[in-house]
Structure 1
Amino acid sequence: MSLLQRVLEQFNLDVISVDEVDDSHSSTVYKCHLKKGETIFVKIPYTKLKFERELEAYEILKGKVATPELLDYWTGDEECPGAYLLSELKGQPLTIDVSPTAAYHVGVLHASMHLIHPPINKELKGIQNEFANWSKFIEKQFYSFAVDVKDVLDETLYLKAIDMFERMKGQLPLPDGPGFVHMDFRPANIIVNGDKVSGVIDFESVRFGSTEIDFTKLYRDFLSYDSRFYQSYKEGYKSIRPIIDLEIVLPFYRFIDSFNSIGWCKRRGIEKNAAFLEENILRLKDFILQ
């Protein structure tokens, strides 16, 4: 019996058809069409830690930020780290084919998430609070990926990247938080329905930390394409809470995003991620050689 079949049995689902969802990098996600006409999602994270993070995230965000409804979950066994049964959000992943109004509502949602602080009376097993040692957290992530990046880049470019990281990290302002940071806040994880935002998905990587890290992928894949998006997003965000000076922090985080993404491609398979790898090598060269 396959893992999916075991999970479907755990949830006692009467399924007509199942489609695997693309663009999920830390879990396996299936879109399930049920005999009674509903569509739901089954999600199986790759590790127990990712399962625990997402479970805690749904509890923390409930009633504060729009997400899919957690219909059920299974804590798993020695072969499966756990699984979720999730409702379907109405709409499609965010694209650049939307109006600035949608960007405004993305800003509102993002700021609402950043408003959330670590719970006082609950000890979390999955979601770490990295805020007190934020600089060390960023440094640890960077040098962890550096081991992989070193095997991909030529030595001169690699050493220039290390030097750039050390110079730029000392120029950052004081961290902003602690807030709930998604760590993968990109268009594929933001569901929109017309000009409205239905919610945000995928919480395997969330932390409590500085909000400054959480703008990078949204800027890379959405905000940078249209100045109207960028302006409307910031207006939406500021309607909920003050926004940090993105002109100061974005260059640093865009640089380390390209560097870390090269390492991610090395870990996940260079051939399979060739296009994304080349894209980030070109970005890194632009940052270093400009």
Structure 2
Amino acid sequence: MLNRMIKQFRLQVQSINEVEDSHSSTVYKCTLLRGENVYLKIPYTQLKCQRELEAYEILKGSVSIPEMLDYWPGDKECPGAFLLSELKGKPLSAKDSSIVAFQVGVLHASMHTVQPPAKQVLTGIQNEYPTWATFIENQFYSFARDVKDVIDERLFNKALERFEGMKQQLPSPDGPSFVHMDFRPGNIIVDGTQVSGVIDFESVRFGSTEGDFTKLYRDFLQHDEALYKAFQEGYKSIRPLVDLEVVLPFYQYTDAFNSIGWCKRRGIERNALFLEENLVRLKTWLK
């Protein structure tokens, strides 16, 4: 399939390396003969491919994203493929400064200002905002079928009870907004002290902003109060920010639970470390 896509996009390739930190698609970094880097991306499903395609159309000019250089709509053997420009830099890390965290807040808020297009008919990106509570509940109980095979029955039943109790405390949803659903350091590219942009749109929705902070907080913001404060300041410079102290506990909890189910679906052995991390998180929440 890789060779086929290289021919499809007529690429003159010097070297190819598979990108490891990609969970919903196969991505290759291709260095062309003239020295330019481009990315060849093949989503796992047609739905993910359509979401990605629509996201590039919706976000272009509003949010810093890679340029879609070419697109192939796929066939029976492949759901489709994208040829993307390179955002200069490396994924966001805990070593980045408060200056960067402020820019990440601006980037995130800019994405959240994007609302469902009035005239464009979308077939990939769903608008979940009108029934956001049902959407979150359906996600939780979908993963619950997998979690049940991983943890003991007593802990499982306790986890369900905690979910039902916590969801009653949520405020009204904030939106409708374009939400990334996987806004984590690996998908935020930083070049020195400048944020280059955001990548990967296979999971995007229109919905409430409140659930879109969880992974960034889990993997970046919670480790440094200065970064957390700078992010909030950056975000608020663009749009109002939901009360994270109110909504984050619920979404942190559901993230830990759902991630256990994700590990079961994707392979417990391959994701053993991530599984253990989330088992610890879940048990801590249930103490």
> What TM-score do you get using the length of structure 2 for normalisation?
1.00
**Residue matched to 2:4:** 6
Post-superposition CA distance 1:184-212 (Å, at most 9, x none): 00000000011210000000000000000
Runs (5+) with no aligned partner, structure 1: none
**Residue matched to 2:230:** 232
What count of residue pairs does the alignment treat as equivalent?
287
**Residue matched to 2:220:** 222
Choose from 162, 165, 178 the match for 1:164. Answer: 162
**Residue matched to 1:51:** 49
**Residue matched to 1:130:** 128
Using the alignment, how far apart are the partners of 1:215 and 1:37 within structure 2? 36
How far residue 144 of structure 1 moved from its aligned partner, in angstroms, is: 0.2
- Structure 1 residue runs of 4+, over 4 Å off? none
Runs (5+) with no aligned partner, structure 2: none
Using the alignment, how far apart are the partners of 1:245 and 1:27 within structure 2? 33
Using the alignment, how far apart are the partners of 1:115 and 1:231 within structure 2? 21
How far residue 17 of structure 1 moved from its aligned partner, in angstroms, is: 1.1
Letter in 1 for 2:50: E
How far residue 286 of structure 1 moved from its aligned partner, in angstroms, is: 0.6
1:23-34 alignment runs, 5 A limit: 23-34=21-32
**Residue matched to 2:261:** 263
How far residue 110 of structure 1 moved from its aligned partner, in angstroms, is: 0.0
Using the alignment, how far apart are the partners of 2:272 and 2:170 within structure 1? 32
Post-superposition CA distance 1:246-275 (Å, at most 9, x none): 000000000000000000000000011000
How far residue 240 of structure 1 moved from its aligned partner, in angstroms, is: 0.0
**Residue matched to 1:36:** 34
How far residue 137 of structure 1 moved from its aligned partner, in angstroms, is: 0.2
1:184 matched to 2:185? The reply is no
**Residue matched to 1:68:** 66
> What TM-score do you get using the length of structure 1 for normalisation?
0.99
Using the alignment, how far apart are the partners of 2:35 and 2:101 within structure 1? 32
Aligned with 1:133: secondary structure? helix
1:81-160 alignment runs, 5 A limit: 81-160=79-158
Using the alignment, how far apart are the partners of 1:194 and 1:160 within structure 2? 45
Letter in 2 for 1:17: S
Using the alignment, how far apart are the partners of 2:63 and 2:120 within structure 1? 19
Post-superposition CA distance 1:134-174 (Å, at most 9, x none): 00000000000000000001111111100000001011000
